[in-house]
Amino acid sequence: MAIDLSKMPMIDDHCHPFMPTREKKTFDNCFTLSLIPPDSYHTRNTLLFKMVRKEMIDLLGLDPAISDDALIQARNERYAASPKAYVDLLLQDAGMESMLVDYGFPVMGSRLAAEELDWFHEVTSAVPTRRIHRVEATFHPMFEQKLPFGELEDMYLAELRDEVENCGTIAYKTVIAYHTGLGIRPIGRAEAAASYERFLSNPSDRAAEKDIRDYLVLQAFELCMDYDIPIQMHSGAGDAPMIDVKLSSPLLMHEILSDPHYRSLKIIFIHTAYPFVEEAGYLVNQYPSVYLDLSSMIPFSSIGVRPKLRQIFEMAPFTKVLYGSDGFTIPEVSWLGARVIRKELGLLLTDLVGERIIDEAYAYDAASLVLSENARGLYIRNWDKYSNRYMSADNLTISN
């Protein structure tokens, strides 16, 4: 008996817009998280690329003996000939019901332009895309403008409120892990204001920068509790060498997680906090309002997915783990993630049934929770009110 998840609906709870204008790397090198230009010779000899190759050949009906160059050319030609038809094929094959999109990508550099977003919404119109707002996309431009502290705070909070009340945002997200780390400490307004002034006069003052970033993220936490929406927190690995992984362990959040004031705050550690996977599973078990998203680990850890899933579920309940892909730049990342999670979660659940830990009926219930139902229940605010058909360039606040 094998648990077959091929027909189950899929919600990708964390991904980013993709478009050809951002496809600066070769196709094979889009399957690495490093910002240091990799050599295709090495990338094509990773197990992840071998998985991509096999799945692409299956999807496009190509000769299994096709060369890597010919495979990539066939992909490029099909995508360029009709982007929407190609993306529709990927979404249908993935069984994608909805994509929850962080529009603040990339972490640094030029933000997505209105015409890029319009293109993305057109080619993904077969499924609803729901909006996640990255708080740094709001306050970074204010840092650059060197606004007075009171004005920055008022504008920041007003924009975050507008995101939920008028723009259909279903969750906030922070990438503070990239900048000053997850060791967030409670900080008062007066201390934050003083640190902000020091930071403006000396941007290399890391202590002052950490204070103001901690304060602004904590303000987002307050709004999350007011609106009963979750916050996605980047954790674990990211774009090397931009992130110091030592500062991105979710264990650094102990002070906040243990504070009774934040007991109702729904925190989703995204990317499984990889490589801190077991630690993340432990936190999900111990703290009632902590959740875990599987993106980036799926599909980027390749053959490590199934053993990592087993490590997560050593302690984490199936009710608090959500599928995500961290898809970006190209549509195939989200598509591959869907194929990988169906296969690997199905095999893990088959093993658990065979070991007589769970029965077959619960295996399918557990899969449904992870693949779609947890997301549907957690991102409840604005779920039905907004989708990509409302997301024209006119009402997006992303800076170009």
Domain count, the chain: 1
Give the pLDDT confidence score for residue 107 in this predicted structure: 57
% of the chain with per-residue pLDDT over 90: 84
Read off the pTM. 0.93
List, for residues 342-377, the tens digit of each pLDDT value. 999 999 999 999 999 999 999 999 999 999 999 999
In a domain, 4, yes or no: no
Q: Is residue 138 part of a domain?
A: yes
Mean pLDDT, range 157-181, rounded to an integer: 96
Residue 18 forms part of a structural domain? yes
Per-residue pLDDT, 239: 74
Strand partners, 295: 298
- How is residue 290 written in tokens? 């902590």
5 part of a folded domain = no
Mean pLDDT taken over the chain: 92
Peptide bond into 299 cis (omega under 30): yes
DSSP assignment of 39-95: -HHHHTTSHHHHHHHHHHHHHHT--TT--HHHHHHHHHHHHHH-HHHHHHHHHHHHT
| 147 pLDDT above the threshold of 90 | yes
- What's the pLDDT tens digit per position in 233-270? 999 987 767 788 999 999 999 999 999 999 999 999 99
Task: Determine, yes or no, domain membership for 400.
Answer: no
Residue 1 lies in a domain: no
Task: State how far the Cα of 116 lies from the Cα of 18, in Å rounded to an integer.
Answer: 9
Going by C-alpha positions, the residue among 276, 340, 354 that lies closest to residue 305 is: 340
SS3 (DSSP) at 267: strand
178 occurs within a structural domain: yes
Whole domain around residue 22: which residue ranges?
10-395
Q: What are the φ and ψ backbone dihedral angles of 98, each rounded to 5 degrees?
A: -160, 155
The percentage of the chain sitting over the pLDDT mark of 70, rounded to a whole number, equals: 94
CA distance 266 to 296: 20
In a domain, 123, yes or no: yes
- pLDDT above 60 (res 152): yes
Give the CATH number for residue 25.
3.20.20.140
